[in-house]
Structure 1
Amino acid sequence: MKKWAYMATAIVASLSLVACSANSNETNKNNKAKVETKAEVKNEVGKMVETSNNLQIKVTGVKTGFGQSTDKKDMLQVTFSVKNTAKESSGAGAADFQVKADDGKTYKVYGLEAKNFGTEIKSGQTITGTGYYEIPAETKSVTLYYKPLEQKMAQWQLKVPSK
């Protein structure tokens, strides 16, 4: 009789350990999935957007590093390709874009950077250029907005490369 009691106790203990282990594994999988989802940030480099003012804008690159200005500030450097699809000339420049960092603050183009692009674009012409934006060093992602005359026309989610 004692033999059966020991075997029954052993079986119940084994089953309860397996059940606890299965629940623990499910919980760990669910928690891991939630963490991975939060950490995953879109990177829309290469995404082309056609705006209502007849420009096709594509973010072609994002990097961090020092700007070309004499004060040598560390910057987010965004490279653009802009095509004018209108019948008449149009203008575009780095000042038409704003960056909202993951700290919730919005940053405009760094005005002292001489290499910021900005030019008139003839009908059918495509230009490339770089915009320089000073953001906090710990920034991991940004939302880039095309906002000429403070009118939002396009946006991109971008990962900030580590330095």
Structure 2
Amino acid sequence: MKNKKKFTIAGMVAILVLTLGLAINATLLQPKTDIGKMQAIDGLFIKVAGAQLVDNSKKLRVHFEVENKMKQTTGIGAGNFHITVNKKDYQMTGGNNFGQEIAKGETITGNGYYEFPKEQDKVLLTYTSPEGETLTWNLGKIDEK
């Protein structure tokens, strides 16, 4: 009877350790992306808040949050961004793309829609300022949700 109890406890401990190990491993193996990361350029603070495939995976919708900490009003829109997939650039496409002027101290949110290939591995999103400076976010591999 004592041996049976010991085996039961040992089995439960083994299952617990295995489950914990798999959970930790799955977490560590998650690809690192810049989704949720805020970056700044010339007083403009840009956050890529999300990215998902839409329109039967033909388009990528990127959700932006942009804060203007400059001393003057400035403009920004989805056309200031492009995506790179497998070393090929894709531009903004039809959709309800954001674009407007932002008064100093204001924050706007909006979506940008971009052409998207079926085959993709690593997706990069690049912002280009009017002065030609760039910021880049690694969006990882975008899966259908």
TM-score (ref. length: structure 2): 0.73
Give the fraction of aligned pairs with identical amino acids, expressed as a percent.
37
Provide, for residues 114-137 of structure 1, a one-character-per-residue CA deviation record: whole Å limited to 9, x for no partner.
Answer: x00000001100000111011111
Residues 1:41 and 1:150: Cα distance change in structure 2 (over 3 Å): farther
Which of residues 129, 134, 137 in structure 1 aligns to 2:115? 134
Query: Where does 1:97-136 land on structure 2 (aligned, <5 Å)?
Result: 97-101=81-85, 103-110=86-93, 112-113=94-95, 115-136=96-117
Task: Tell me, yes or no, if the aligned pair for 2:68 and 2:104 is still in contact at 8 Å.
Answer: yes
Residues 1:41 and 1:152: Cα distance change in structure 2 (over 3 Å): farther
* 1:145 corresponds to: 126
Task: Tell me, yes or no, if the aligned pair for 1:65 and 1:77 is still in contact at 8 Å.
Answer: yes
| Amino acid in the other structure paired with 1:158 | L
Question: Over alpha carbons, which structure has the higher Rg?
Answer: 1
Which of residues 40, 47, 50 in structure 2 aligns to 1:50? 40
Structure 2 gap ranges (5+): 1-28
* 1:79 corresponds to: 63
| Aligned-pair CA distance for 1:60 | 0.2
Task: Tell me, yes or no, if the aligned pair for 1:63 and 1:160 is still in contact at 8 Å.
Answer: no
Structure 1 gap ranges (5+): 1-38, 67-71
TM-score (ref. length: structure 1): 0.65
CA distance in 2, matches of 1:160, 1:76: 11
* 2:80 corresponds to: 96
| Amino acid in the other structure paired with 2:120 | T
Task: Tell me, yes or no, if the aligned pair for 2:123 and 2:142 is still in contact at 8 Å.
Answer: no
- Over aligned residue pairs, what C-alpha RMSD do you find? 2.0
| Aligned-pair CA distance for 1:151 | 1.4
Task: Tell me, yes or no, if the aligned pair for 1:64 and 1:160 is still in contact at 8 Å.
Answer: no
CA distance in 2, matches of 1:73, 1:57: 25
* 1:21 corresponds to: none
| Amino acid in the other structure paired with 2:48 | V
| Amino acid in the other structure paired with 2:77 | G
